[in-house]
Structure formats: structure tokens, C-alpha cells
Structure 1
Amino acid sequence: MGGSERVTLKDVAAASGVSRATVSFVLNDDPNQTISATTRERVRQAARDLGYVPHGVARALREGASRVVVLNIDWGLEGNYSRSYVRGLDDELAAHDHILLVRHGHHTPPETQRVLDAIRPRAVIRFAEPYLTGHDLEDRGGGWKDGLAAHSALQIRHLAERGHQHIALALPEGENPVAGARLRFVAQIAGRLGLASLTSFVASRPRTASARAVEEFRTAHPEVTAVAAFNDDVALRTVTALHDLGLSAPGDLAVMGYDDTEYGALMTPALTTVHIDAEAHGRLAARTTLGLDASDLEPVPARVIVRDSA
């Protein structure tokens, strides 16, 4: 063979006298295939003699990085948005011969560096960073086109259109990279809609703590008639807290979720929420990472799923 030609599985198969499939099974250590030790060694020896290098490894050596893209997702951001975002990112990367590796949790710079050292990824992406920081797709106006601001406005506007002038934002406990941005955006939205200044409370865990938080908040703010929850999880805790207090949604307090998880449709009352399809956002992240044109990408508009809780 010419020195510039890459050795293929077909070449290894011909040299070892077995099929290409057998070579693939041996070199990938497929545990579901029964291949004799003699045949396995013959295939491996042929691969060594020919200088066979797996395609992905050869490409990584040539390009100086693997075709792996790492996605870091912070705790507390899992939901319909993240699922559709990952689906779009994964599909788009696969279409361009890359592989997605998803890491959940809090990621410190040293931890990220260990990943870089171990697998030399093409890139490391922070989940939905443009969305979380207020810039989304071609929108540079604070996410008011298809970002966090626009979707927060959709939630508040729905409640306002149903006559609620005093609305509270229910937040998750602990640190969350989105909570501060949501508070800023809903304050702007309330001002634009002529609503009273929005208040907030933390829907704590466990269940008894959540009930106590809702009871204390209602005592301090009896004028509030609706809750815009940070996500469906927080909304479910709020509705459960009302039930434990002998109250109901929407009779005593309208409660609206955000991000449309499957559990919201299963509870009673079923949860009114905001549905966001982020597949285009994931595809955009993939193309931006790979340096490809993304002008043809159009996001699916977010929409309110009207059920019984608000």
C-alpha cells in the first residue's frame, strides 16, 4: 500500500483472512460475538503489522483534537428545554460526524481541564449559555425574541390577561444560574404591563417546608392572586403546598408552571405551563461550535399550554 493511504478494516480483513465484520468485532472487543482466541490474535497482529489506526483516532491525531463535543449542564436546569436542546445538539453534531458527551452537575475549571486533558474534545459548551445570559439566536436585545426574557414574558402576560394584577414568582431553593435573570426580566415585564411590583418566595424542600413557605408568603402578601413558578417542579410543589393547607389552585391561588415537564399533565389540577422547543437552539450551538452557517435555523415559538391550575 502507498504510504499516504489510510489502512482500512477491509485491508486488515484481507490480511487476516476473515470478514470485515469479524475484524470490526475483534477490534471493538464486542462481547456479544463468539470468536476464537486464535482468530482474535490473528486479526490484531494483522492490524499491528499494517499500522491500522481506528478512523476516529486517526482523525483526532491529524486535527489535534477529537470529534467529541462536551456539554456541561448545571444541576437544576433539567427539563423539557434541556431535553429538546440536547436532542438538537446531538443530531446536528452527528450529522457532521461528531459525538456529544453530556456532563451533569457543577463544573469547576479544574474539572473541565481534566476533561480537556483526557479526551481533547473539539469544544466544551455550557448548556444554553446564550439563552441563560439573555442573547438567543440572532436576538441581541436581552432575549426578547426567543430567549429567557421572551418566555418569561409569555408566562406573566398569560396571567395578566386573566386579570391577575398581583403576581409572585416562586423560586427554587439554592443557587441557580437562571434565577437572578428571571427576577430581572419579570420585573421589566410587570412594568411594561402596568402590574404591581412582583414579589417572590422560595418553594423549599421538603413538602412540609414548602407548605410553610407558601403559608407565610400568603400571610405577608394577601393581595397576590397568582404565582408564576420558576419551572414545573416548583409549580408542583406550590400546588401541593396549597393542598396541604386546605387550599386549591386556581380557586385560592392560580399557579402557572414553566418548561412543560410530563408530570404537570398528570397531576390534579393539571398544570398550566409554558412549552419551549429548544431543538433549534441546540442545532445553533452545534453549528456555531463547528464554524458552520446557521442562517437557515428558525426556532419554534414558545407557547402556553392551558390546563386547569391557572
Structure 2
Amino acid sequence: MPQATGTRRVTAADIARSLGISRATVGFVLNDTPGQTISEATRNRVLDEAKRLGYRPHTAARALASGRTRIVLLVLPDWPLDFNLRRNIEEASLALDEAGYALITYTPHPTGQARPLWESLQPDVVMAMAPWAPGQVESIRASGVTRIIPDPDAPIEAEWREEGPTLQVQHLAALGHRRIAFAGSADPRIADLVALRRRLTTEAAATLGVELAGTADIELTDASAQVMLTEWRSDGITAIVAYNDDVAAALVGAAHRTGIAVPGDLSVIGHDDTPLASVLEPRLSTIRVDTVGLGRFLAQLALSAVEGRPEPTVGPDLRVALVERASTGPR
């Protein structure tokens, strides 16, 4: 029989007609149906003919039959896609792909009118990296999705605690700095994250006997950084804990342009250990976060929900480390 041509999808029936065998036999082979007594020779004939004719499985039909789409939908908060977030997503995507699942990300916007992707895709799991917004859980359940992470019905666990700000303050305290400042990002999309790191910096400073003598959120511009540097230097501040490496880099650049020596006059420590931290001069002391571990942790959570695997028992929240470079020095 000639090969099926044109735009029509090659079906199992085409393969059966080409080989002169039953459609059921072809279906059993293509679906690897257990409990069937099909000879190895027949199995190989079916697979070879399927390849010759260009047969491709009908994924939508398979999903309907199995009850799975093999899609994991990750709902992202409306944050900038910074280095760490991109790495988290990349690692989660790789781990899920290795298990045969596709990771799709979706960012709902407060003013958006688009139909939620969980309605269009019917994913096996819907995950979020931040607390669920009002109405989202109800919308997800109404679309027929039952696997939701974090579980909205589970008891609220203790707040996840970042260790990075504590390590930043400990490092500066060990160098002899006693009057420090916290520089956050003025990006309104991450105001909650900035507030968390500011609070943790305040707590760490109080524990270590260091005075947090200044705190402000800056724009990533030379003018904004220079204003705060002038004010903090006049207040006798000798070191700055930055929300992330971008903020730290803005401060270091402004310091150079205003004649403030880093680290001779002022120490600056960033957070995240982005590529920028290792190429800026002076190279940034910073906090390295286990982005690979967090991405893999997210993937394991999804797989535990859809495949009944044991949940990962240890999260990556404590896997941070100080990276000491040239932007911090002794008081």
C-alpha cells in the first residue's frame, strides 16, 4: 500500500491496512498495552511500518484516554525575571522534561483580561511560587484541576525564612562594621520581597549588636544611588547590605563616580551571586543561592502530586553561602 500523503495525520488504521493485520493489534503495539500475546516479530513489523509511514501519536487523544496532559503549569508572581528566577525555572523545566512532563509558566497581571491558562491547557498540576491571589484557587478548581501546589487546604506552615540577609550582616560585623544601611529596590513588583529582606536585616543587626542606621529603596540609576550614598556617608555609615546584586552594582558605580573608595571608604555586599557580581570592579561580595536545588525541588513537588511519589522532605531554603570578594573590607 502506498504511503499516506498530504496533510492528513497517519493513523493506526493506516498501519493496519498497510500490513494486512487488525487495527486492534496495531493499537496494542503502539500503546504498549500490557497482557497481550503479540509476537516480537509482529511488534517489530508494526513499529517499523509506523516509522515508515510517519506515524505520530495523537497526544490530545492519549491525554483524554489517560486523564493526563503531562503539563505542569507554574503560576509566576508579577516579579521581574531576574537571574535567580530564570535559573529556578530552567532547572525545574529540565527536571520535569527528564520525567516526561512539560513546564509552562504563566504570569497573571492585575489588569489582565486573558483567559487563565489552567482553563485552556488542563494541566496535571498547577503550582505557584507565591501565595494564591483571591479567586485563583476557585478558578483552578472550576476548570477541573485537582492537584494544586501549595495545597490551599493545608495548614499554613511557618514563614519560610531566608538566611541570606543574616549572612550579609554577619559578614560585615565580622569585618568590624557597626553602622550599616540596607538598600532595597524601588521596583513596586517586589515590594514584599524587599520588605522581607529589610526586616531580616534589621533582626540580624539587632542580634549582632550592629546599628542599622539607614534604610531606603533606590532606583537602579546613578542619581538615586548617589543621593543615598551622600546621606549615608554623612551619617557615618561604613557598609551597605544590598537587596540584590543589581542594587549593589548601582551603589558601587555611584561610589566610584563620587570619589568614594570601595571597599576602603565603604563596603557593599549584594545578594544572589549573579554573573554581574563576578565581572564588576571591584568584584561583589554576595550571597549564593542554590537556584539549581530550588528548581529541582519544585519539580519534585509536582511529580509527587501527579505520580504519587514521596514528597521531597528537605527544601533548599537553607542552601545559601557567603561569597567573599573585593567589595567588602575591614572597617
Please indicate the TM-score interval, normalised by the length of the shorter structure.
0.7 to 0.9
Secondary structure of the 1:197 match is strand
| TM-score relative to the length of structure 2 | 0.68
How far residue 204 of structure 1 moved from its aligned partner, in angstroms, is 1.4
Gaps of 5+ in 1: 28-52, 134-139
Take 1:307 and 1:238, find their aligned partners in 2: how far apart are those partners?
A: 16
Secondary structure of the 1:200 match is strand
State whether structure 2 residue 126 is matched by structure 1 residue 124. Answer: yes
Instruction: From the superposition, tell whether residues 106 and 208 of structure 1 become closer, same or farther in structure 2 (CA, over 3 Å).
Output: farther
CA contact (8 A) 2:220 2:246 kept: no
CA contact (8 A) 2:182 2:241 kept: yes
Residue 75 of structure 1: aligned partner: 79
CA contact (8 A) 2:248 2:269 kept: yes
State whether structure 2 residue 234 is matched by structure 1 residue 216. Answer: no
Residue 61 of structure 1: aligned partner: 64
Instruction: From the superposition, tell whether residues 264 and 248 of structure 1 become closer, same or farther in structure 2 (CA, over 3 Å).
Output: same
Residue 325 of structure 2: aligned partner: 307
Residue 189 of structure 1: aligned partner: 204
Bigger radius of gyration, 1 or 2?
Answer: 2
State whether structure 2 residue 246 is matched by structure 1 residue 233. Answer: yes
Which amino acid is the alignment partner of residue 291 of structure 2? A
How far residue 89 of structure 1 moved from its aligned partner, in angstroms, is 1.4
Q: Equivalent residues in 2 for 1:29-178 (5 A)? A: 53-54=57-58, 56-64=59-67, 66-71=69-74, 72=76, 74-76=78-80, 78-79=82-83, 81-103=84-106, 107-108=109-110, 113-127=115-129, 142-144=159-161, 148=162, 150-175=163-188, 176=190, 177-178=192-193
The correspondence for 1:20, drawn from 31, 51, 67, is 51
| TM-score relative to the length of structure 1 | 0.72
Please identify runs of 4+ aligned residues in structure 1 that moved more than 6 A. none
Which amino acid is the alignment partner of residue 2 of structure 1? A
Take 1:85 and 1:207, find their aligned partners in 2: how far apart are those partners?
A: 30
228-237 or 292-301, which deviates more? 292-301
Instruction: From the superposition, tell whether residues 92 and 111 of structure 1 become closer, same or farther in structure 2 (CA, over 3 Å).
Output: farther
The correspondence for 1:205, drawn from 214, 220, 228, is 220
How far residue 61 of structure 1 moved from its aligned partner, in angstroms, is 1.4
Percent of aligned positions that are identical: 26
The correspondence for 1:264, drawn from 277, 287, 290, is 277
RMSD (Å), alpha carbons? 3.5
Residue 16 of structure 2: aligned partner: none
Which amino acid is the alignment partner of residue 78 of structure 2? D
CA deviation vs aligned residue, 1:73-128 (integer Å, no higher than 9, x gap):
5333512x32442243123312321111234x663496685212222222333337
Secondary structure of the 2:24 match is coil
